[in-house]
Structure 1
Amino acid sequence: MSPTGELVTHGCQLPDWDVQALPPDQWQPFYAAVLGAFHEPEPDEVTALWGSLGEPRRCLLVRERGAIVGTAGVFSFRMSVPGGRSVDTAGVSMVSVQAVRRRRGVLTALMRQQIDALQRAGEPLAVLTASEAPIYGRFGYGMAARQLSLDIASRRVRLATPPVDSDEVELSLEDPYKALDACEELYARLLPQRPGMMARENGWELVPLLDPPAWREGSSPVECVIARVDGKVVGYARYSVAVEWSRTNTAEGTVRVRDIEAEDPRAYAALWRFILETDLTSRVIAPNRPADEALLHLVSDVRHCTPTVLDSLYVRLVDLPRALCARTYAAAIDMVLEVGDGFAPWNQGRWRLTGDGEGAVCTRTHDAPDLSLDAAALGSAYLGGVTFTELAAAGRVRAHRPGALATATAAFSSASAPWMPFAFCRSLLPRL
């Protein structure tokens, strides 16, 4: 903003613009503008849930002649990072620009004000999922987690014998809402084990159960199977089934998997066997699974699973030293990172990062750099799912001494691939 309060972007004053914090009583027109930008009507129950989850105080809008032409919001999360800690994270969502106002700097203005507000609040990280992948790199977001989409010809695969006896697992079909507390207790236990997972609190546990009839496209209502060992819930799967019949009166149904979570290999194998052997079906679709999905090592023929790797979570370091100190490191690291960050200049410069499995220290330095990279590349590497070695091969990281890439890759690595299993934006709602 200029000293007079007028918005300034790219050196040009735009007197018709007004970037505002969302007044609490303006949620409905704000959200209507978001829906309009995505060109899609929304069932009332979905709109009601997002209304209950929305944080108006963390939303921004752009007005032009009184009309809302741009929106951006933030949800308050805690995200698991390498080492198992949960870190305050801004979940950026509901970003939209009215079609006739695009390419006029509206998005840049929103992102500028949003990241400045996050920096003032001391928030170390921001994340988002992009409906259009090329948009956010220029604002310092890097693709940090991938998701695997599976399309399985279930009659043509079988599960190999699991490493432990899955017969010890008891499966039961239960009402998804009645089983919700038990499922969420398990989800919370799994949270520290995989970077990128968000704590589900204050209503977010209901998002995976969204199931408006208008979205089912012939599928059953969402169903839930619970896995127990010695009476303890150790896994669950949520799914729906659409049964179709061929001209020869053969059932060719599809199972659409929403979630499979398990903390026990026996439960994991038993749940997948249950899904793959569902009566009257020949296909299983699982559109959002982690990149290191263990199922690919259990099936008899991975070629009938048609795994497709997609981009998922994008990470932006808002407060670089706090973010780097919030996680731990898989191997000892002591190196200088030279970071370019024109959109968040407080991060720009040289930083000495010293850390190990116990913690880290990150301070400014004038020492010669070991690695040079921009903010988006650092965001990509942050959760351990994208390596410095692959970023360097793409020209995104430059090494200034031998061994620096290998050291950074080893230190930033994660035992589990980062993954974001549930939706906090419209592009990843549980529609299958």
Structure 2
Amino acid sequence: MTYPIRPIDESEWSAFGRVLEEAFGWTPHPTQSERFKAETEFDRTLAAFDGEDMAGVTAVFSLTMTVPGGRQLPVGGVTAVSVLPSHRRRGVLSSLMRRQLQDIRERGESVAALYASESLIYGRFGYGRAAGELSFRIATRASAFVPGAPHDPALRLRVAKPADVRPELEKLFASVVTRRPGRYERKSQTWDSVLADEEFDQRGSGPLRTILAEDDDGVRGYALFRIKSDWDANGLACGELRLNELEAADPAACALLWRSVLDRDLVTTVTGSRPVDDPLTTLLADPRQLRAGWQDELYARLVEVDRALTSRAYSAPVDVVIEVEDDVCPWNARRWRLTADPSGAECKAVDEQPDLTLPVNALGAAYLGEGALIERLHAGLLREHSPGAVRTLATAMSWGPKPWGGLVF
């Protein structure tokens, strides 16, 4: 059975939302729905119809995302992928995802990215896990730093209400967004959501707070957080500081901000999610105190292999012929010669014998620099025809700092 697919208009927003609610099993607060609506690009929505009724939906945000080398690319940020429980396993999702990738290509975006509600879904559509993150819990009493942690006597801390310093937060974020692959520019509506502070945003954790690290020239970093105040049966404080964001322009500002949240009075625990290589992982004198769990974060998909691979930087020279397997975007399914070094890259279609053969989701996983090509080789998930080709490609595509989106879209 086929289901007609088309973008929705604003008058169909309620029906679009009902599909999301059924698929995800949740009911958003009306204000949350309005915020999402304000960010939605209606011409980039898609809905599959069973008669007059929506059976599945999805949408794309037009993002500007950092890739290795600090370049910012237009990226299709896939979101709101949902199918009614009554229409599962009927091809609705496949039809939506294939149509969406065609639309992304027509928009001129060579890369798509998403956050996966279920990690097993998107590999079959060519997406690979491109970034991970650490969800951590730190006991503040054991959070001392190593000797020699960066310090700048010119820095000072300033407490402020987030809404009052929004221009300074936006400026600082814009200055650091190109440093880490996976970060993306924030539009005004995104900042509205980041700084939202209604009761349902607080979820029992109190108002949103910020502290700035600055010198006479201006702000060099900030932390956004909430504090859930609590006391144990003996009357001892056991508050939890829930860190939303910590952004810094330099190591000294970063260290000072971490100390400010770890040394907060009446707080015994700090929790949050950070990149896998966050400076805190090496600043702590006792790294075991970072009780962290790894989880997948951002997923990436190369919509046009040649354009995507020439749009990022490389850490080392590489000259390989890659045979790409891609049954969703057939224009990618051929052999590509990638020639690159730290000065630039070229990727062109060839008829030469391949040095390696891999599925397109493996390239997506490696694209932002975290990479798992060697692991996939050892697991038998890609084929190496020229000895050492996979290691050469993996070395060239590796990057630091590690990728991290940092904010679900």
Per-residue deviation, 1:370: 1.1
Match among 116, 119, 126 for residue 133 of structure 1: 119
Aligned to 1:111: 97
Q: Secondary structure at the match of 2:291?
A: coil
Q: Distance in 2 between matches of 1:357 and 1:206?
A: 38
Q: Does 1:212 align with 2:198?
A: yes
Q: Secondary structure at the match of 1:177?
A: helix
Q: Distance in 1 between matches of 2:213 and 2:30?
A: 33
Per-residue deviation, 1:211: 3.2
Contact 1:27 1:56 in 2 (8 A): no
Q: Does 1:80 align with 2:66?
A: yes
Q: Does 1:342 align with 2:316?
A: no
Per-residue deviation, 1:180: 1.6
Match among 239, 261, 266 for residue 252 of structure 2: 266
Q: Distance in 2 between matches of 1:357 and 1:265?
A: 25
Deviations 1:386-413 (Å, cap 9, x if unpaired)?
1422221222232212221221122101
Q: Distance in 1 between matches of 2:279 and 2:107?
A: 39
What are the within-5 Å matches in structure 2 for residues 11-410 of structure 1?
14=1, 17-286=3-272, 288-410=273-395
Q: Secondary structure at the match of 2:244?
A: strand
Per-residue deviation, 1:153: 1.2
Q: Distance in 2 between matches of 1:35 and 1:180?
A: 32
Q: Distance in 2 between matches of 1:162 and 1:51?
A: 48
Per-residue deviation, 1:213: 1.2
Contact 2:371 2:397 in 1 (8 A): no
Per-residue deviation, 1:178: 1.9
Per-residue deviation, 1:65: 2.9
Deviations 1:179-208 (Å, cap 9, x if unpaired)?
121112111111221100111124222232
Q: Distance in 1 between matches of 2:224 and 2:148?
A: 21
Q: Distance in 2 between matches of 1:147 and 1:274?
A: 22
Q: Distance in 2 between matches of 1:164 and 1:303?
A: 21
Q: Secondary structure at the match of 2:162?
A: coil
Q: Does 1:423 align with 2:373?
A: no
Q: Secondary structure at the match of 1:323?
A: helix
Q: Which amino acid aligns with 1:124?
A: S
RMSD over aligned CA atoms reads 1.5
Runs of 5+ unmatched residues, structure 1: 1-13, 425-432
Q: Which amino acid aligns with 2:33?
A: T
Q: Distance in 2 between matches of 1:391 and 1:294?
A: 28
Per-residue deviation, 1:303: 1.5
Contact 1:122 1:319 in 2 (8 A): no
Deviations 1:26-64 (Å, cap 9, x if unpaired)?
223212321332222222332222111100100011121
Contact 2:208 2:226 in 1 (8 A): yes
Q: Secondary structure at the match of 1:258?
A: strand
Greater mean alpha carbon deviation, residues 19-28 or residues 350-359: 19-28
TM-score, structure 2 as length reference: 0.96
TM-score, structure 1 as length reference: 0.91
Deviations 1:215-273 (Å, cap 9, x if unpaired)?
43321111010101333211000000001111111111100000001111111111111
Runs of 5+ unmatched residues, structure 2: none
Q: Secondary structure at the match of 2:401?
A: coil
Q: Distance in 1 between matches of 2:76 and 2:138?
A: 35
Deviations 1:297-317 (Å, cap 9, x if unpaired)?
111222221111110010000
Aligned to 1:10: none
Contact 1:207 1:423 in 2 (8 A): no
Q: Which amino acid aligns with 1:284?
A: V
Per-residue deviation, 1:166: 4.1
Q: Which amino acid aligns with 2:196?
A: L
Contact 2:149 2:283 in 1 (8 A): no
Q: Which amino acid aligns with 2:394?
A: T
Contact 2:151 2:256 in 1 (8 A): no
Q: Secondary structure at the match of 1:328?
A: coil
Q: Secondary structure at the match of 1:168?
A: coil
Question: Is the alpha carbon distance of 1:101 and 1:279 closer, same or farther for their aligned partners in structure 2, counting shifts above 3 Å?
Answer: same
Question: Is the alpha carbon distance of 1:231 and 1:119 closer, same or farther for their aligned partners in structure 2, counting shifts above 3 Å?
Answer: closer
Q: Secondary structure at the match of 1:414?
A: coil
Per-residue deviation, 1:162: 4.4
Per-residue deviation, 1:417: 0.1
> Paired residues, what number?
409
Q: Distance in 1 between matches of 2:157 and 2:227?
A: 18
Q: Distance in 2 between matches of 1:162 and 1:50?
A: 45
Aligned to 1:5: none
Deviations 1:139-167 (Å, cap 9, x if unpaired)?
00000000111111112221224443244
